[in-house]
Amino acid sequence: MASLTRADVEHVAFLARLGLTEEEMARLEGQLNHILDQYAVLQTLDTEHIPPTAQVIELANILREDVVQPSLSVDEALTNAPERSDTGHFVVPAILGGGGGA
């Protein structure tokens, strides 16, 4: 089974949008590889003809009437916003132009 390099740890941390310190990355590299070693046992099982199980309840396609139901007011929905506008919106960091990167 594959083992994780330091570069993999950095890549996965970026995918997960986790800013990690040098110390955290070093510790995680060892710990994650130790955990991945435990996964190897699964490769001893032949599962070629076994269907996957994503969930265990026998419910599917739960539908309801498309009618308006009570919900939070704008003010309630914004209670926890780190930053909000006077016009009732979340203020989010710019993602296009004007200082936004990527």
Partner 1 sequence: MTDPTRLHAHEMAALLRGGETTSRALTEAHLAAAERQNRALHAWLVIYRDEALAQADAADKRIAEARLAGASALARLHPMCGIPIGLKDLVSVKGGQATAGSAILKGYLAPFDSTVTARLREAGAVIIGKTNMDEFAMGSSTEHSAYGPTANPWDLTRVPGGSSGGSAAAVAAFHAPVAIGTDTGGSIRQPGSMCGVVGMKPTYGRVSRYGIVAFASSLDQIGPFGRDARDAAALLHAVSGHDPRDATSAPEPVPAELLSLPAGDDEAASYLKGRRIALPKEYFVAGIEAGVAARIREAVAAMESAGAKVEEVSLPHTEYGLATYYIIAPAEASSNLARFDGVRFGHSDRSSGEFIDDYLRTRGAGFGAEAKRRIMLGTYALSAGYYDAYYLKAQKVRTLIKGDFDAVWAAGFDAICAPTSPMTAFPLGAKLQDPVAMYLVDACTLPINMAGLPGMSIPAGLSDGLPVGLQIIGAPWSELSMLRLARAYEGITARAPWRALEPAELELTDDPTTPGPIERMARLTAASAGAGGQSERTQR
Nearest CB to partner 1, comparing residues 55 and 86:
55
Side-chain-side CA neighbours of 27 within 13 Å: the count stands at: 5
Binding mask 11-50 for partner 1 (x = CB under 8 A): -xxxxxxxxxx--x---x--xx-xx--xx-xxx-x-x--x
Among 7, 22, 52, 68, binds partner 1 (CB under 8 A): 52
* Binding residues for partner 1 restricted to 60-89, rule: CB under 8 A: 62, 64, 72, 76-77, 79-83
Q: Which of 37, 27, 31, 29 is nearest to 12 (CA)?
A: 29
Neighbouring residues of 81: CB distance < 8 A, sequence distance ≥ 6: 90, 91
- DSSP letter string, 61-86: -------------HHHHTTT-SSB-T
Q: Residue for token digits 């498309």?
A: 66
If binding is defined by CB under 8 A, does position 7 make contact with partner 1? no
Residues in contact with partner 1 by CB under 8 A are 1-2, 4, 8-9, 12-21, 24, 28, 31-32, 34-35, 38-39, 41-43, 45, 47, 50-57, 59, 62, 64, 72, 76-77, 79-83, 90, 92-95, 99-102
